[in-house]
Amino acid sequence: MNEPIAAEWRPALARSVVLRHDRVRGADLLVLPERVVVLSGRAVEVLRLCDGHRRVGEIVDELAARFPGAPVADEVPRFLGRVREEGWLR
């Protein structure tokens, strides 16, 4: 179940998760214990901003500036919530 995202949450990748670009595949990956997730769309751009310093609102603001008109205010918090449920963010 998606929990509401806390305004003060400063998302960061879980300690066991690594964000990596695979030059051979030309793809961005989340490398997890015993699993690799191929990222699509703008997911990598969102996750790169999850540095443990920026709040969710700051991530949304940064992406809104990069992609004017995109529905980041709704989609980014939902995406971050799903990724947190998977255990990939802390």
pLDDT tens per residue across span 11-49:
999 999 999 999 999 999 999 999 999 999 999 999 999
Structure tokens that stand for 5 in this block: 């995202």
3-state secondary structure of 59: helix
Helix (H) / strand (E) containing 76: helix 72-85
Q: Which two tokens stand for residue 53?
A: 């310093």
Can you give the pLDDT at residue 2? 55
pLDDT tens across 66-84, in order? 999 999 999 999 999 999 9
Helices and strands, counts by H and E, the chain: 3, 3
Q: What pTM was estimated for this model as a whole?
A: 0.90
Mean pLDDT across the chain, nearest whole number? 94
